């Protein structure tokens, strides 16, 4: 049996900068790999988290030209944590600006969780600009998905961690936790924001892997965690500016786009029912259900499938076959 593919060695960007997208927002971006390689864009999760150096290692630097960027208000983009002019459709428009900036006709989209949501929203809006997609832990923003994670679904599996999550919310407000946290994450008192952000991020952080090593969450949070929690809550409060079931309803627009969907069997953040429904609606997608894995891209089985997918779409196999035929 061949060894599972592993992340590529760390690399540095060959170019980076900032793009003014209007509305007071400036996006950090970077390009990595081979400028002549297959164009790809990495869409980080959250929303609100940001791209990191470890994400560069998912792509063969000899075969891919990868754009990584921090979405509005996230990571190194400014203003950090801003909720103004920050919606799904602003981000779809930003992707088009970035594509034109680097001068490619189409590109491969790589996204997990919220990154998969954004990839689907973009691909269903601009299918002619998408050469392929690699999606992980698919989230489509339906009410049942939000109710599962912020209601009576995942809480049944993690009652102790759920208790920590809702501790600071009065009983009378627990029927709508997203709204209750919104009030605290936008409170003028930074200390109130920090306590709410610690609880919000702690709940997600303690359920994202199959076997979590995280202990009880902290009682306060730094600027990055506050920004993440504010933006993620902001999107969920507004149902991601999507019509109910929109991304699955419009999956027919993905016809002709090849893809791979990677899903952890025991993903409790974005349960497999959603990715399975997408697979049924998008026949070109190869579905990889990983046993013994949760939501995080770092889960060994999930990471192996993601690496295998970037390898397949890199054209490496075709190049090796061509060399073999030349040598024959």
Report the alpha-carbon angle 49-54-57, nearest 5.
135
The DSSP line for 70-100 is PPTTSTTSBSTT--TT-SHHHHHHHHHHHHH
Beta carbons of 229 and 197 less than 8 angstroms apart: yes
Residue 8 lies in a domain: no
Residues 133, 153 within the same domain: no
If we measure between CA atoms, which residue out of 297, 235, 250, 243 comes closest to residue 270?
Answer: 297
Q: Which residue has the tokens 């990154």?
A: 115
Catalytic residue among 60, 70, 94, 267: 267
Residues 297, 234 within the same domain: no
Q: How many residues does the chain have?
A: 328
The helix (H) or strand (E) run that includes residue 153 is: none
Catalytic site includes residue 295: yes
Residue 10 lies in a domain: no
131: which 2 tokens?
């050469």
Residues 23, 49 within the same domain: yes
Q: Is the dihedral of CA 281, 282, 286, 290 positive or negative?
A: negative
Mean pLDDT estimate for the chain: 94
Catalytic site includes residue 106: no
* Residue 327 confidence (pLDDT): 53
Q: Which of 216, 240, 264 delimits the end of a domain?
A: 240
pLDDT tens digits along 204-261: 999 999 987 666 667 788 999 999 999 999 999 999 999 999 999 999 999 999 999 9
Q: Which of 240, 261, 279 delimits the end of a domain?
A: 240
Residue 1 lies in a domain: no
* Residue 211 confidence (pLDDT): 85
Q: Which of 215, 240, 265 delimits the end of a domain?
A: 240
pLDDT tens digits along 1-52: 456 678 999 999 999 999 999 999 999 999 999 999 999 999 999 999 999 9
Lowest-confidence pick of 158-162, 218-222, 292-296, 320-324: 320-324
Name the pTM for this structure.
0.94
In sequence order, which ranges of the chain are alpha helices (DSSP H)?
53-56, 88-102, 114-125, 143-150, 159-166, 177-185, 190-205, 223-237, 246-249, 272-281, 300-314, 316-327
**Angle between the 223-237 and 190-205 helix axes, to the nearest 10 degrees?**
80
Q: What percent of the chain has pLDDT over 90?
A: 90
Residues 87, 173 within the same domain: no
Catalytic residue among 74, 113, 275, 314: 113
pLDDT band at 152 (very low <50, low <70, confident <90, very high): confident
* Residue 6 confidence (pLDDT): 85
Its domain, for residue 152, covers: 144-240
- For residue 129, what is the domain's CATH number? 3.40.50.1820
Residues 51, 135 within the same domain: yes
- In the chain, the number of structural domains is 2
Catalytic site includes residue 23: no
> What's the CA gap between 195 and 69, in Å, rounded?
28
């Amino acid at each position: 049996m061949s060894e599972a593919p592993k992340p590529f060695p760390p690399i540095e960007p060959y170019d980076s900068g900032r793009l003014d997208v209007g509305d007071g927002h400036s996006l950090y971006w970077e390009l990595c790999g081979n400028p002549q390689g297959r164009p790809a864009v990495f869409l980080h999760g959250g929303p609100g988290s940001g791209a990191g150096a470890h994400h560069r290692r998912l792509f063969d630097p000899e075969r891919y030209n990868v754009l990584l960027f921090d979405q509005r208000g996230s990571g190194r983009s400014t203003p950090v944590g801003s909720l103004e002019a920050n919606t799904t459709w602003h981000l779809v428009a930003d992707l088009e600006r970035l594509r034109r900036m680097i001068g490619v006709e189409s590109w491969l989209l790589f996204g997990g969780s919220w990154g998969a949501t954004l990839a689907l929203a973009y691909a269903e809006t601009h299918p002619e600009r998408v050469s392929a997609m690699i999606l992980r832990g698919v989230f489509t923003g339906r009410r049942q998905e939000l109710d599962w994670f912020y209601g009576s679904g995942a809480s049944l599996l993690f009652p102790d961690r759920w208790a920590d999550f809702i501790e600071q919310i009065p009983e009378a407000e627990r029927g709508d936790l997203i709204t209750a946290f919104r009030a605290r994450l936008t409170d003028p008192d930074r200390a109130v924001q920090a306590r709410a952000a610690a609880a919000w991020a702690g709940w997600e952080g303690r359920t994202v892997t199959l076997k979590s090593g995280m202990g009880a969450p902290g009682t306060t949070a730094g600027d990055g965690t506050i920004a993440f929690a504010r933006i993620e809550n902001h999107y969920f409060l507004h149902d991601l500016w999507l019509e109910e079931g929109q991304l699955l309803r419009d999956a027919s627009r993905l016809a002709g786009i090849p893809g791979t969907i990677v899903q952890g069997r025991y993903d409790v953040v974005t349960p497999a029912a959603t990715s399975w429904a997408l697979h049924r609606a998008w026949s070109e997608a190869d579905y990889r259900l990983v046993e013994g894995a949760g939501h995080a891209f770092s889960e060994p089985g999930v990471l192996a499938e993601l690496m295998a997918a970037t390898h397949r779409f890199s054209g490496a196999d075709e190049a090796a076959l061509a060399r073999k035929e030349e040598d024959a």
